[in-house]
Structure 1
């Protein structure tokens, strides 16, 4: 829960910023009060800590290793083969990316196109499920000869495999808030074990809020990377225009503030998935005081894994369970 001191600091800061911008005590009071009432009326409460711990820490006293995209370095990402390989390699859970075919079938796919991971080409939202099913999801993988002919799975096929292998699922939702919430709600109702073995995550707060609206009993997490609006994962600027780059940097500062002071509370999240470079003992404690667990990504060396598991004692997401590798952005 948000402590009283944190709440006073948050709204005091908002009041001061509005006052500096408007120079009107009346407007500052009105806008700060409106924000307080909005959050109080429309926020979702956090789920019980015991529920969150059951999902996030299924092995008591031990941090969990979560296979990123099913473990995309060890097997073709977001496939049944990857899920099975992650289980064999000792993963506690898997992170899976939710996408949709042109005819609305929920599938596993990270990108907006099929070009990077399959032998096909084109936008995901222009291809029917029957067309997607004909593609080889192992075509671009370094171990393609071992996994030749691997298919793009439906979301339900992946869920059934994870349940069978007793793997925790981190559903990574890229967009389509309404469609994603509906698809996941149906799965949770069909497979109730998911309530205590999975969590829905997204970079987009709207997705998480819509999921809580659809089913308030589903465990959720916000995902965040500082400077994500202005820079790519490797630090390269997204925009060649200098003014546009600096404008998006300002938006990044605002988004970062919102995640840490407002959005987490509005959505009632149980975990915060954050890029590894931000994480420290103080950062973990910051979220612990708010009843939120930190999950770091993407942790791809043994040295990093030892640090996050043995020193920070927090879960981490990794591209490989068996060897050091470069991050997959």
Structure 2
């Protein structure tokens, strides 16, 4: 694995002064400390959603590794962002049309070398799609996991399988779960209220936040995950005043990071787990 990327985030222990904690849920293991989430691992430098990408994000100092979940046709949870395997493997078709054995035969790394030659590495050739259970087995309690449930209507038992794996590996205090699906999060909160949940938001225009939004979200979530380009200072202030964590996605420049931190966000997703920290230390 490349060693030329060596600087870690210096913001890991940054605390937003004067911020209150969320009321429901109120997990003891997570505070309002600013957190850095490795978006699909260290996806700027290595093939997304592979063990190598997660390992690199961890080495670069990310507080959490983000894992998008899909499910195979034989009911195995795997790490992949897209509903299909076309973009990040040499295969084609939907994830749900493949068994886990079939997925394991696909090359999940060579595409990165072709698309990003600056960071190409022979180690990335013929990487495999990891299952969630393999990820948990590899990292154990050494890392924190920021997991997204995807396509819950397509995978109605995803939440149950996810919670079972988290409990089996004794990782309740090492996990945050996010989703664009309110239904998915409510289901998880009912089954395991100790896990902090983040409601993802896909605003297509400048975001507005209402009291009814806040009341609804706080019934099941500890915070929100908006598109950073669609929010402003007033939006963040309203969410923080209500006790909600704010984790925008996906922040890849110092300029954007500076602005968001001044506004009071409590974490960011990033493809670069090192370059912003280099700028911040200057």
| TM-score, with length taken from structure 1 | 0.68
Within-5 A mapping of 1:71-220: 71-141=42-112, 142=116, 143=120, 145-164=122-141, 166-176=142-152, 178-192=156-170, 194-220=171-197
Distance verdict in 2 for CA 1:309–1:285, change over 3 Å: closer
* Structure 2: runs of 5 or more not aligned: 1-22, 277-282
| SS of equivalent to 1:65 | strand
* Structure 1: runs of 5 or more not aligned: 1-44, 58-62, 229-251, 325-329
Does 1 or 2 have the higher relative contact order (CA < 8 Å, sep 6+)?
Answer: 2
| SS of equivalent to 1:184 | helix
Q: CA deviation at 1:323?
A: 4.2
Q: Deviations over 1:163-192 (max 9, x none)?
A: 35x322111111226422111211221122
* Backbone CA RMSD of aligned residues: 2.6
What does residue 264 of structure 1 align with? 217
- 2: CA distance, partners of 1:290 / 1:308: 18
Distance verdict in 2 for CA 1:134–1:259, change over 3 Å: farther
| TM-score, with length taken from structure 2 | 0.78
| SS of equivalent to 2:218 | helix
Q: 2:244 aligns with which of 278, 281, 292?
A: 292
- 2: CA distance, partners of 1:161 / 1:269: 28
Between Structure 1 and Structure 2, which shows a larger proportion of helix residues? 1
Note if contact 2:214-2:239 (Cα within 8 Å) is conserved in structure 1: no
Note if contact 2:214-2:242 (Cα within 8 Å) is conserved in structure 1: no
Distance verdict in 2 for CA 1:307–1:107, change over 3 Å: same
- 1: CA distance, partners of 2:90 / 2:75: 22
What does residue 7 of structure 2 align with? none
Q: CA deviation at 1:112?
A: 0.9
Distance verdict in 2 for CA 1:312–1:213, change over 3 Å: closer
Higher Rg: 1
Q: CA deviation at 1:133?
A: 0.3
Note if contact 2:71-2:78 (Cα within 8 Å) is conserved in structure 1: yes
Q: CA deviation at 1:295?
A: 0.6
* 1:306 aligned onto 2:264: no
- 1: CA distance, partners of 2:214 / 2:262: 28
Q: CA deviation at 1:294?
A: 0.4
| SS of equivalent to 1:272 | strand
Q: Deviations over 1:123-152 (max 9, x none)?
A: 111111000001111121122534112110
Q: CA deviation at 1:219?
A: 1.4
Q: 1:278 aligns with which of 230, 234, 249?
A: 230
What does residue 20 of structure 2 align with? none
What does residue 15 of structure 2 align with? none
